[in-house]
Every structure is written in structure tokens, then in C-alpha cells.
Structure 1
Amino acid sequence: MGREQPIYSTRAHVFQIDPNTKKNWMPTSKHAVTVSYFYDSTRNVYRIISLDGSKAIINSTITPNMSFTKTSQKFGQWADSRANTVYGLGFSSEHHLAKFADKFAECKEAARLAKEKSLEKMELASSPSQESPADIHSPLTPPVTSDLCRVNGTGDDVTLSDVSPNSELQSDLSPTTQSLGHRDMFKACQVCSL
């Protein structure tokens, strides 16, 4: 665990749902134990870990779709689908429970953002052609403008579809580029018609 850093620790009685009934709580610690949030910077993941002696009684990776539920003033629980169990924590005070729940929400949000970033990276890697849209558009703009002038000399009915024959290019153009393009075209077209 050298690369993992504890970011928050508290003490609580740890329970797990009875795998047979899925209703009853089974205590997994005889007394209150330390329950810690860990952040693994190399894998960008958050985990809740609790050890009773040398045995890990909680080892739960927080995912964006997990939620921590307060079921009473001093008790909260969350389901871990990977571990195929539900963990329960009994705290000594409402304050400790609230702190734990806040930290859970923070880590869950961070996990969601990390997941989005990794998806974006994958998308970028799979479509390198879109990494430099400026290079694609700039050489096309001048000839398109002059063609338009020849087609409709008045410049009355210039539409965006005339500007970019390729719909992909059109979607990549920012609104500012489009409006500038329009203005320049009208100027160019007026010059042509003169």
C-alpha cells in the first residue's frame, strides 16, 4: 500500500450483511476499529479500508454509482457490488457518522470525475484526426468563399450549409467562426457583384 495515502480515518463498529438472509447484520469486528479512506494516486481510485488486526474486514473501492445511506442517527451502510456485500458502520456519535458520509460523497464525486477524464482520454486516443481542427478548416475556407461569390452574386442566400460541404466540419466550427465567416462572405460577395 506504499502508493496509497490515507485521507481520512475514523473509528466504528463494522458489520456486513448476512449473505444467506441479506437482512441481518453480522458484526465483523468485536469492538470499534479504524476505518480509513485511502487514495491511490497511480490508479486514481478511492478505497475504504478497515483492518481488524492483520485481517482486512473492509476493502471497498468507491465507484460513482455507490451511495452511502444513513439508516439511523449513528449507523450507515453502503452496498459494494464487487465484493457482493453490504457494509454497515456503527458510530459513537451522529457527528462521526455525518463526517464519514460527507467524505464518502467527496470521494464518489472525485471517482466520477476521474472516470469521465479517463473516458475522454480514450476518445481522444481513438480519434486523432480531430485533435487539430484548426489545420483541417483553414485551408478550405478561402476557396469556398470565392466559389460562393460566383454561384450567387448577390450574396442574399448564403447559408451555413453552403459554407461547409462536410457536416463534420460544420459541427466543429465554433459559433464565432461561423458568424465571422458569414460577414466575410458577404463582403467578398459584394465585391464580386460590383
Structure 2
Amino acid sequence: MGEQPIYSTRAHVFQIDPNTKKNWVPTSKHAVTVSYFYDSTRNVYRIISLDGTKAIINSTISPNMTFTKTSQKFGQWADSRANTVYGLGFSSERHLAKFADKFAECKEAARLAKEKSLEKMGLANSPSQESVPGDIQSPMTPESINGTGDELGVPDLTPNSESQSEPSPNTQTFTHRPVFQTCRICSA
């Protein structure tokens, strides 16, 4: 599905002066559209704004970001990935409040997505961390091996092997030491 807009407003866009870190530098001559986008494939929220064809904001919202209202019609946030601080000047307090509310929603969703991702990684990695050298453990899921779960079979890559039939859906090939071994995982 890709990235979809979820909220848009208009605002004057500024960035903090990279030299002084004190003064605001306008990045648009007039109010421009500032939009929140959600990428369902990557589970990521971004704030994007264009001035003509030039991207003046391309900020991925992370759980540690904070949007701060600094006056009745102005708010800002720091983006460490872009190494800048963005500022937005709105036409009314209501527009600023709505933008701030949407920022909080996206930040919370990003936090939950990160937690969920870490939980999945923790569950997938925990059996292998406890394994004894020489053991092959089978609690791995097809998703943790192939990444998607769409393809369950991995071809046997044994060197000098004669032609082999396609592996069954329950066959997984694991590299263990320098020798390739095949391990069967039940599909229950």
C-alpha cells in the first residue's frame, strides 16, 4: 500500500540556524502544506512539506521526539537524524493544537511499533542465545529465517551436491559450523 497522507495543514516552515543554533531561518516564503504520512509497509510516520518540488521537511517521527508549543501560534521539534530543529508558524492556536495532537498520536504509535518490533526480535533471538555449541535448535519460525513467511523452503546449498528435488515446505537448511545440515521443523 505504501505511504499515505493522514493529516495536512498549512504553516510557515523554519529551521534553526545551523551556525548560531539560536536564530530561525525561514525555509518557505509563504505558508505551505505540512503533512503527516503513514507508511504501513514499514510502520513509520513522517512529517513532509514541499515548497514547489523541494522537500523542506522530511522528518521521521521517533518515540523520543517532542513537539513543543513555544507561543500561541508557533511550535517546534528536533530531528536528530536530519540534524536540525524544525519550527512551524500557524495562522491560529487551533491549527497549532491540532498539529501538536497529531504529533503526540504519531509519536505514541511509533513507540508502540518499536516495542512490538523489539519484542519480536527478543522472542526470535532468545532460543539461539541459550543454545549449547553443537546443538541445532528448532523453535525458529519461517519468518525469522526468511523474513516473510511467504516462502517456507530454503534450497539445500551443500557443495558438490547432485541434483536434488525441491525441499518440502517443512524443510529448512541451517548453516552450522562449516557443514550444511538439514533440520525438519514441524508445522504444528
Q: TM over 0.5, yes or no?
A: yes
Q: Which has the higher helix share?
A: 1
Partner of 1:37: 36
Q: Structure 1 counterpart of 2:123, which letter?
A: L
2:54 maps to a residue whose letter is K
Name the amino acid aligned to 1:26. Answer: V
Counting matched residue pairs gives: 131
Q: Deviations over 1:35-93 (max 9, x none)?
A: 00000111111000000000000000000000000000000000000000000000000
Which structure has the larger Rg? 1
Residue matched to 1:182: none
* 2:93 corresponds to: 94
Q: 1:13 is matched with which residue?
A: 12
Within 2, Cα distance between the matches of 1:123 and 1:75?
41
Q: Residue type matched to 2:76 in 1? A: Q
Separation (CA, whole Å) in 1 of partners of 2:73 and 2:103:
15
1:138 — aligned with what? none
Q: C-alpha offsets along residues 24-44 of structure 1, whole Å, 9 cap, x if unaligned?
A: 000000000000000011111
Between Structure 1 and Structure 2, the one with more strand by share is 2
The unaligned stretches of length 5 or more in structure 2 are 131-138, 140-188
Q: Secondary structure at the match of 1:127?
A: helix
Identity %: 92
> What is the letter of the counterpart of residue 91 of structure 1?
F
**Partner of 2:50: helix, strand, or coil?**
strand
* 1:128 shift after superposition: 3.9
Deviation at 1:125, TM superposition (A): 0.5
Deviation at 1:110, TM superposition (A): 0.3
1:149-180 C-alpha deviation (Å, 9 max, x unpaired): xxxxxxxxxxxxxxxxxxxxxxxxxxxxxxxx
| TM-score, normalising length: structure 2 | 0.67
Structure 1 stretches (4+) deviating beyond 3 angstroms? none
Structure 1 residue 9: deviation in Å?
A: 0.2
Q: How does 1:40-189 map to 2 (within 5 A)?
A: 40-128=39-127
Tell me by how many angstroms 1:127 deviates. Answer: 2.2
Distance 1:24 1:127 in 2: 49
Instruction: Specify every segment of 5 or more residues in structure 1 that has no aligned partner in the other structure, as ranges.
Output: 133-194
Q: Which amino acid aligns with 1:4?
A: E
TM-score of the two chains, using structure 1 as the length reference? 0.65
